[in-house]
Amino acid sequence: MQPVDFTTLSALRWELQAEWLPSRLEQVYQRDRFTLCLALRTIQKRGWLTISWHPQAARLHIGDPPPRDPDTFTFSQQVRHQVGNLALVAIAPVAPWERALDLQFARRPGDAVLWHLYVEVMGKYSNAILVNKDHQIVTAAHQVSAHQSSVRPIQTGQIYTLPPSLTEPAPTLDESQARWRERISLVPGEIRRNLIKNYRGLSSALVLSMVQAAGLEPTRSTDDLLDADWQRLFEGWQTWLKTLERGQFQPGWTDFGYTVVGWSLTKPANSVQDMVHAYYRDRLNEQEFTQLRHQIAQKLKTILAKLYQKADTFRSRLDHSDQADRSKDQADLLMANLHAWEPGMNAIALADFETGAPVTIPLNPEKNAVLNAQSLYKKHQKLRRTRAAIEPLLSDVQSEIDYLEQVEAALSQFDDYQAPEDLDALEEIREELIQQKYLEDSEYQKPLRKDDEASQPRKFTSPSGFELLIGRNNRQNDRLTFRTANDYDLWFHTQEIPGSHVLLRLEPGAIADKKDLQFAANAAAYHSRARQSEQVPVTYTQPKHVYKPKGAKPGTVIYKQERIIWGNPGDFSSCSDADLNSAVNREISQKD
């Protein structure tokens, strides 16, 4: 993940100063243990300033509004109590070339500054520190004791001190090319490494884009550079310093991340704020998506393995109970042939009532024929009771297996993170499993999101232009089937195979063509547990013929008056790549 360097932080500061000063601080909300959100209002607009001290994604920018969940963090409560409703009057660097900003608060613009919120963007040492007008630390996002750092402890009540000064020389526009070249090439080495080692304010991403813009390889040695190479590189160096001095940044995306200087752009960005917000939102979402998907997949695997074993045990006992009728027949046969029994017999062979074939009945030699028959009758009754007790247990276990396999099929659709909608849908699966008591998480006890906050299904367009909706999880499946669907739509699902609910939306009077039905069937087959099969049976019917059994788990339905069509998962995967990409782009644009 590309860290926010000094250049990016400077670009963010320039934009914030131009667009959000002065502003009133209306709300304070801490999204998680690394992110604080400040609601700012100017005369023209209102927005949320995101302040993060995440060890990999520390930053400061205008971002999305926070969720509506209760804020239980002490740090945000203290910030709210001290600076709430004050005016943000300045955003200033704490020192030249330092990745730390001073957010200054006063009662109104022009008044004396009462509070300082220092935002230090320094990798794993990042922090947010609230300091009063006497430079005394009132609270900090991350307190550092003297045992943790003898150089710079950060604790409530102490005087705030600046981070230790950087030792590398500061870049200046006044430095001559000869002196600059001499400093970098004094000790031969890779041009990228020598630049970072000899000057402050540089990052790997900035130097990489600078060297590539000069047409050089980052690993090229300083001894191998020609005068023309040095000239191009120095011109890029001067461009960077002038950009910092004038505040004229060119934000955009590159092959390896982003830049604010305009080098190696693959796509320009509207603003530094939007670009930084989108980049770190997606990178952090991707990390959380991967971890959450792995957590859910492992939990499902463990639970299903136990359920499979339990079901096999029940089936084995049921197979054994199938001998109940045989025991009764043997007892009847023995009672009808008491005269054939002799004392001390271990077994007796008697002719079957219907076939006449010999039937060998094992006997207890210590009992007479009547007592042996009674033992067989008791065994018959016991096996019947066993079947009566086990059958509902096996049915319950099979219902659990069917439900979890449905969840597993939904999870299999989340191969890679593409858009924020993917993480939202995955979180809904976790919320569902917590509510169903399959997951326990003391740090995550949130209720299911309201419908207006819920994630949205995948959207595609059929060959005739009809909208096709595909549920991403059980909650979406239920919402599609019982809320979104109307009498004109068609509902699709793989036959007796876990998978998504698919809805083909039709206008009143419209008739779906065969190619539309096939497209929907292919989609249902592709978004099911049978994705790797060549052909999959898919049922379709009108939504009014789909019902939810009383007390059924999410996503569980029964249906009638269905028709069968064979779906081809491979056809949907190969022919709809463009649709998949357009759908992802639509989701991203809608979210943004």
Q: What does the pLDDT look like over 293-316, one tens digit per residue?
A: 999 999 999 999 999 999 999 888
In 320-388, at which residue ranges do the beta strands (DSSP E only) sit? 347-351, 358-362
DSSP 418-453: -SHHHHHHHHHHHHHHHHTTS---TT--PPPPPGGG
**Is 362 within 8 Å of 345 (Cβ atoms)?**
no
Closest CA to 79 of 21, 39, 109, 46: 39
> Positive or negative, the Cα torsion across 168, 170, 171, 172?
negative
- pLDDT at residue 577 in the model: 45
- pLDDT at residue 474 in the model: 92
- pLDDT at residue 588 in the model: 37
- pLDDT at residue 441 in the model: 67
Domains located in the chain, CATH noted: 6-140 (2.30.310.10), 177-269 (1.10.8), 320-395 (no CATH), 456-591 (no CATH)
Q: How many helices (H) and strands (E) does the chain have?
A: 14, 22
C-alpha–C-alpha distance, residues 221 and 207, integer Å: 14
- pLDDT at residue 583 in the model: 41
- pLDDT at residue 581 in the model: 43
Six-digit token pair at 441?
A: 């998480």
- pLDDT at residue 413 in the model: 85
Tens digit of pLDDT at every position of the chain (592 positions): 999 999 999 999 999 999 999 999 999 999 999 999 999 999 999 999 999 999 999 999 999 999 888 888 999 999 999 999 999 999 999 999 999 999 999 999 999 999 999 999 999 999 999 999 999 999 999 999 888 888 889 999 999 999 888 888 899 999 999 999 999 999 999 999 999 999 999 999 999 999 999 999 989 999 999 999 999 999 999 999 999 999 999 999 998 899 999 988 899 999 999 999 999 999 999 999 999 999 999 999 999 999 999 999 988 877 776 676 778 888 888 898 888 888 889 988 888 888 888 888 889 998 998 998 899 888 888 878 877 888 889 889 999 999 999 999 999 888 888 888 889 899 899 988 998 889 886 544 455 555 556 788 999 999 999 999 999 999 999 999 999 999 999 999 999 999 999 999 998 888 899 999 999 999 999 999 999 998 999 999 999 999 998 888 888 999 999 999 999 998 887 654 444 444 434 443 444 4
Six-digit token pair at 123?
A: 């990798």
Side-by-side strand order, sheet with 267-268: 258-259, 252-253, 267-268
Closest CA to 329 of 284, 376, 371: 376
